[in-house]
Amino acid sequence: MMEELIVIMDVIQVHVEYLIKNRSCYIYVVVSLIFFSCSNSSSKNRHPSSEKLAQFEPLDYALDIQSDAYLSAEELVKDFNQENILHSFKSKQTDSLSIQIYDVQEIRIDNAGNLYVLKQQANTILVYSPVGEFEYSIGRGGNGPGEFSSMRTFEFNSDFSELYVLDRHEIDVFKINDGNRFEPSNTIIHRLNMSYDLCMLENKLFIQGFQYVKADSTSRKEGAFANIQTTKPVHEFDMNTGEIVNSFGQLYTSYSGSPVLDAMLSNTMMSCDEQAGTIVTVLKHFAYLFGYSVDGKLKWTSRIAKFKYSGIEEVNINSPNAGIRFGATNNQSYNHLFPLQNYKGGFSVIQFGNQFTSQSLEKLINSKNTVSDMKPHTVFINSSNGELFYSDSFKSRYMDANQNKAVLLTEEETNFNSFTLPKVIIYEID
């Protein structure tokens, strides 16, 4: 729900900017998006459609975990055993880490083994020692240096001397001081909408998000949205000037042609793999994966087959007040993706879990079943060529890894009425 509210605020911002420039531009789109869940239009179309997904063919690899033919990732997870545990601790009820495993947005580990825990609602990053002792916090709510209105994610540079924190409108850069703590350094205004992710490759900064621009002659459409289009979802930024150097990535387009709906449907997560020299992206709603070189050239395309889509319904497609409704599914559950992460040896990791509808979740709670159905599925991606590997034994939440350490989050097996607090485990990896 929080992400949907953020998207709506981004949409409002975009159209207010257009109204300033052109008093009649697309005000109805704003209204329909705010109230799209209440719309009862007879003009409906479901996403994804096989015709629209066909634009991403041919595939280099596809993974079907429901068959026995998938490539096993057991060799890749062999380091995650008792002998390789460096530190293990549970969060306490009074501790800042006392949040459920599925509520953790992000945890990063630096080269010294310190943990950086993202708390989006507080607009802060909590820093813990390798054994789980709280050290200090980075950022807070506000509009000054080192303050944030809507913190999204963060990333280190290659030697962990700089920290890049993505906010709604900007990137705040922090540098390590003599006391080994990060302090504000400078700010880059990114001017992107629906921006949720960033990464660094070869000391270049890449940010996910969208701009709405005048349609060019090759992509001009008919109808209410004939004169405006959205950009590609990934942008390389010049860290000195704050200007976009290059834009690339895949777009999944709406039926209506609305650039705002195109952007919402093309919501992209990404990760930069330094060893493979690849930017790995995934279409969040459709589980299609792409690999790009540092200059934005497509290297490969893969997908997770038989992914249970949440169901997206587009309404009023032939009018200016087009909108979409998420969760339009008749299934008891659907899959949702966790953020892309780096691993070792030129591999990336994508995990997905089951999201239950309110009715089916209520049945599970009353049945006193275990939480095993909520454990994540783990897919390892060869970042160089897109080959996919699956582990059916790895059920912890993978968070991050550096050169020789990895951090996982796990919960004890229990029933739905007695969740336990997450356990943080730091492993030594080869």
Can you give the residue ranges of every domain in the chain? 2-428
Query: What is the pTM (predicted TM-score) of this model?
Result: 0.85
d(Cα 167, Cα 155) in Å, to the nearest integer?
12
- Give residue 96's pLDDT: 46
What would the two tokens of residue 376 be?
């994540």
Segment among 73-82, 85-94, 265-274, 280-289 with least mean pLDDT: 85-94
- pLDDT, tens only, 241-253: 889 999 999 999 9
**Helix locations, 150-304, DSSP H:** 259-265
For the stretch 296-337, pLDDT in tens is: 999 999 999 988 888 899 988 888 888 998 876 666 778 889
CATH topology of domain 2-428: Neuraminidase (2.120.10)
Copy the structure tokens of residue 237.
């930024």
Higher pLDDT, 41 or 197: 197
pLDDT per residue over 328-365, tens digit each? 666 677 888 999 999 989 999 999 988 766 655 556 55
Residue-level pLDDT at 18: 38
- Mean residue pLDDT of the chain comes to 82
What are 158's two structure tokens?
């290659």
C-alpha span between 27 and 165 (Å, rounded): 32
How confident is residue 27, by pLDDT bands cut at 50, 70 and 90? Answer: very low
CA triplet 152, 105, 72: central angle to 5 degrees? Answer: 120
Residue carrying structure tokens 């990060």 = 182
Closest listed residue to residue 138, CA positions, set 99, 107, 105, 184: 184
Please give the Cα distance from 1 to 171 (Å, whole number): 24
Contact assessment for residue 193 and residue 6, using Cβ atoms and an 8 Å cutoff: no
